[in-house]
Amino acid sequence: MAKRIDIAREDYLKSLNDVIENLQEEIDKMIVQSTEGLREALIYVAKESQKKAPVEFGDLRGSVLVEMDNTVIAEGNESGGLTVTGDIPENAVSGSVSYNTPYAANQHEHTEYDHPLGGQAKYLESVLTGNKNEILQIIAGNMEVMS
């Protein structure tokens, strides 16, 4: 049989407030961690899709743009690499990877195009569909590392 412990009202409420404060701290950490995970996943998608983007002069690979909550956090450079350019918006919940040349969509969608210097059609989509597990692991791994 359990024994009842009498806790003074002021101690009970103090403990309850401590629990609520601790829970809020953990929720805040989770938000920051998921934002970091999203950032890392977006950068991964950008880098992997750059490797697959068709190349003639390198303009397409260099035109990649990574945004979080409409703020640029990374962009392609002339050598076809990726430069992280900014801090992550606090508590960002959305992000995108895009290519910003007039012909990016045509190169992505037209599977009949030849790419004699390398790359392929569906260069962005293929990373999102073919690397789903890796992308999810990046987000989840970030949650574990930062906790």
Residue 1 lies in a domain: no
Site of tokens 């962005």: 124
Residue 96 lies in a domain: yes
Taking the mean position of all CA atoms in its chain, how far away is CA 2?
49
pLDDT, tens digit (0-9, with 9 covering 90-100), for 69-103:
999 999 999 888 999 987 888 878 899 999 999 99
Residue 4 lies in a domain: no
Closest by CA to 39, choosing from 77, 72, 76, is 72
93 contacts: CB under 8 Å, gap ≥ 6:
35, 38, 69
Q: Give CA torsion, residues 84, 88, 92, 97, to 10 deg.
A: -10
How many Å from the N-terminal Cα to the C-terminal Cα in the chain? Answer: 38
Residue 3 lies in a domain: no
Residue 118 lies in a domain: yes
pLDDT, tens digit (0-9, with 9 covering 90-100), for 30-77:
666 788 889 999 999 999 999 999 998 879 999 999 999 999 999 999
What is the residue range of 122's domain? Answer: 9-146
How far is the C-alpha of 92 from the C-alpha of 39, rounded, in Å? 9
Residue 122 lies in a domain: yes
Domains contained in the chain, number: 1
Residue 66 lies in a domain: yes
Q: What is the pTM of this model?
A: 0.78
139 contacts: CB under 8 Å, gap ≥ 6:
34, 37, 38, 40, 41
Residue 2 lies in a domain: no
